Structure 1
């Protein structure tokens, strides 16, 4: 084996790192491909990463146990924006840089978000089911739905993805309001969005779409009390993180008619167990966390994540650090 640093790439069999990013890494590193079982850290993962100088997380988790077997770890590069899969606090304590790839998958996630809005508003999931059974007349029963045009769309978060969704739905004729404590009034005006508090958003919006990171503060930001604030005709879309919504409270809200529908690309837990009652509700659309999964997006995100690893070992500053304070240690 050469003296090149070791980079471990964590991914599942069906979600590899893009080949162009692999080529970039192979030019500078010994690359290990460690197959994970989703977000689980098990003995196979620990054996695979042991002694790594860098870890690129396509799909997987990096916690204290992973860091313990990699005493020379210098960077954890997250493929995507979900840094909740890394124990950032522990990495920072050890002086390990964590990076992520904001914006790279924003076009893909924003487009799916709007697609899910249209799907739940127009009952496309029910129509398609009936058409696949060859039941034309039964499909037409669900043919009268609602438009985005003229609706109030409430965005919880208007960062890279939320701001793109805002521009798309405004072009479709919607009014957009948003809750985001980190966005200035000036930025909101640039987007043509009115900033409101969360309670106002929940009460006024016809379509609520969530684009916030999952943190201790945002966990279950949509809970039973807040679901009860929503209009009975409103729908909610989540393409961010499953833990932002209390799943059991959402089921209750949909089952009992507090709200009209939900479209989810993410769930809590994820994947949702096959026997979960949400699957049986007609006013729910669920996709398997594919918001960022386009060919274009996967290449952009993979190259950004790989570039961060290369920059770390070339002594160049990171482009998107999560914990920049480690650079001063």
Structure 2
């Protein structure tokens, strides 16, 4: 008997890597859905769910009749109701060990583009303004602090790049031992110190109830007026309205953002008009290698689930 592996959604051109790995073990089916009711109906007989952006709510999970695992195409699992999955005895897995270098590279690229004001200078050159000084004053990198909120795999890769560029690097992460940071030449600090001392505040936290709006009006008020906010993690880490207001009032220098609370970012949003803000469209994860690697790792986890093998990356601890 073939198991039933259902892909709720994805933006991939095809699912050949998954089909190849699951051949002979499972039937792979991608569904089209419009709402929660239809999603519940079309997933009820799934043995494994493969999910990219679909919201797997308590209602959807309660309708799963025999599901062994929900596997996310990516690192974050904030679109899956973890509590409901645990109560139902369903594993929730992710892929935390792909696109590390891609996101770290993109994070640094955004920070440098903003600090060196590349988009603004490019626009000026194309308009005939051949100024040999930058539009806004900027310190040399070796006089700046690169602050990391979170110190997981990606943040550690960003730290190595920032150190190589001459930044002093400091990090806040209550779940990482200070000595582990020091071994990588990163200074451990508390949250308030990170806010107060960072010239670049780079966000690398998971989105959980206690990290929603990690950066808000109150925390922004503690930051330097020349501070730059960089986010390649999750849009919900930032109170977008508070950030927009802070930049418009020049309470901080600017932002470089790849992720947003609302995606796509509306064309009418004030951030679109701000020259102090560099924007990209949730592309930090992308490279020629990252897509097939992600698909293969998800399929391998699905194969483990239907084979009764313990998962490689389960985000819900089971006894």
Question: Are the aligned partners of 1:123 and 1:145 in contact in 2 as well (CA < 8 Å)?
Answer: no
Unaligned runs of 5+ in 1: none
Corresponding residue for 2:183? 190
Question: Are the aligned partners of 1:17 and 1:58 in contact in 2 as well (CA < 8 Å)?
Answer: no
Within 5 Å, which residues of 2 pair with 1:68-217? Answer: 68-131=62-125, 134-137=126-129, 142=134, 146=138, 147-217=140-210
Matched, 1:310 2:306: no
Matched, 1:32 2:29: yes
- How far apart in 2 are the matches of 1:127 and 1:169? 23
Question: Are the aligned partners of 1:21 and 1:299 in contact in 2 as well (CA < 8 Å)?
Answer: no
Corresponding residue for 2:19? 22
Matched, 1:285 2:285: no
1:176 alignment partner, SS class: strand
1:243 alignment partner, SS class: helix
TM-score normalised to the size of structure 2?
A: 0.93
2:252 alignment partner, SS class: coil
Question: Are the aligned partners of 1:128 and 1:139 in contact in 2 as well (CA < 8 Å)?
Answer: no
CA-CA distance at 1:53 after TM superposition: 1.1
- How far apart in 1 are the matches of 2:129 and 2:63? 61
CA-CA distance at 1:35 after TM superposition: 4.0
Aligned in 2, Cα 1:28/1:191: closer, same or farther, shift over 3 Å?
Answer: same
Aligned in 2, Cα 1:17/1:216: closer, same or farther, shift over 3 Å?
Answer: farther
Aligned in 2, Cα 1:317/1:207: closer, same or farther, shift over 3 Å?
Answer: same
Aligned residue among 3, 6, 10 for 2:4: 6
Question: Are the aligned partners of 1:36 and 1:59 in contact in 2 as well (CA < 8 Å)?
Answer: no
In the alignment of these two chains, the number of paired residues is: 318
- How far apart in 2 are the matches of 1:240 and 1:35? 27
Question: Are the aligned partners of 1:122 and 1:143 in contact in 2 as well (CA < 8 Å)?
Answer: no
- How far apart in 1 are the matches of 2:154 and 2:253? 24
- How far apart in 2 are the matches of 1:116 and 1:279? 16
- How far apart in 1 are the matches of 2:302 and 2:216? 38
Unaligned runs of 5+ in 2: none
Aligned in 2, Cα 1:287/1:324: closer, same or farther, shift over 3 Å?
Answer: same
Root mean square deviation of aligned Cα: 2.0
Aligned in 2, Cα 1:124/1:18: closer, same or farther, shift over 3 Å?
Answer: farther
